[in-house]
Amino acid sequence: MKLLRKTALVTGGANGIGQAVARLFADEGANVAIADFDDSAGEQTASEIRSRGGTARFFHCDVSKAEEIRETLRHAVEAFGTIDILVNDAATQLNKPLLETSDEEFDQVIATNLRSTFLFTRDTAKLMIEHKHGGSIVNFSSTFAHVGSPGYLAYHASKGGIASMTRAAAIALMPYGIRVNAVAPGTTLTPGLHRGADDTGDHDKAMDSFLALQPLKRFGRPDEIAKVVLFLASDDSSFVYGADLLADGGYTIL
């Protein structure tokens, strides 16, 4: 087991890729703290992990709210004593191009995706430094941090910011034995992807058009991305710092 006796906090762990990460980490021996604002899916995921013999707790947290992030970290440390691994997965998407994006929409996407990654990273790093055990932080960027698209303006901004912040944080935290990296998933079959398709007004047509863009002619699976997150979180990647590791089925090399 790669994460035995480690405690991992996974934001967005109630659904999609974050849920696959929470399950895989628990299978690898970690105590898992799931932080999400989807209470029913979060409780259900934690309880399913426990029923398989793992250790997991759900903590309600809207990551766009700084106060809820502070509370979640306090409760997770009360429950598990420390945090060794942080996975910043929670995010929102907004399929709007530049000219249609309002100030409020831009701020909301940035708060949920970029500012939450900053706050969780800074405050968890302080705990890790205090506990003197080092640690590993895995952020979620996206292929959209690497290529453009007609829509998703605020999402592009947030994910580009996360990729760049990951490099700066990796340098800042290197002296404390804390590694910071990011994974950049390609199009992955999750509730979020289905929601994105719904937002276009024609779910099936949108899914077909997303699929047509995939060099592999299939979507990624959450468990495929979770394995990359495990690599970055564990000592298997002990010489990897500030990476933004693409796991996109070749989307960005075409």
Interface residues toward ligand NAD, by CB under 6 A: 12, 14-18, 36-38, 61-64, 89-92, 112, 140, 142, 185, 187-188, 190-193
164 burial type by CB count under 10 A (0-12 exposed, 13-18 middle, 19+ buried):
middle
Considering the candidates 155, 176, 241, 251, report the single residue annotated as catalytic: 155
Q: Which residues contact 6 (CB under 8 A, 6 or more apart)?
A: 29, 30, 31, 84, 85
Shortest separation between residue 130's beta carbon and ligand NAD, angstroms:
25
- The residue of the chain with the least Cβ separation from ligand NAD equals 16
Q: Which residue type does 163 have? A: A
Rounded Cα distance between 136 and 242, Å, is 11
Shortest separation between residue 37's beta carbon and ligand NAD, angstroms:
4
DSSP, collapsed to helix, strand or coil, labels residue 151 as coil
Rounded Cα distance between 253 and 28, Å, is 32
Rounded Cα distance between 26 and 37, Å, is 20
176 part of the active site = no
Nearer to ligand NAD among residue 28 and residue 38 (C-beta): 38
Shortest separation between residue 107's beta carbon and ligand NAD, angstroms:
13
What the block records as the tokens of 43 is 């409780």
Nearer to ligand NAD among residue 131 and residue 221 (C-beta): 221
Q: What share of the chain is helix, strand, coil (3-state, %, to 5)?
A: 55, 15, 30
Q: In angstroms, what CA-CA distances link 187 with 44, 87, 122, 194?
A: 25, 19, 29, 11
Shortest separation between residue 129's beta carbon and ligand NAD, angstroms:
25
Nearer to ligand NAD among residue 40 and residue 51 (C-beta): 40
Nearer to ligand NAD among residue 94 and residue 173 (C-beta): 94
Nearer to ligand NAD among residue 174 and residue 211 (C-beta): 211
CB 121 within 8 A of CB 180: yes
Shortest separation between residue 97's beta carbon and ligand NAD, angstroms:
18
What residues are labeled active site? 155
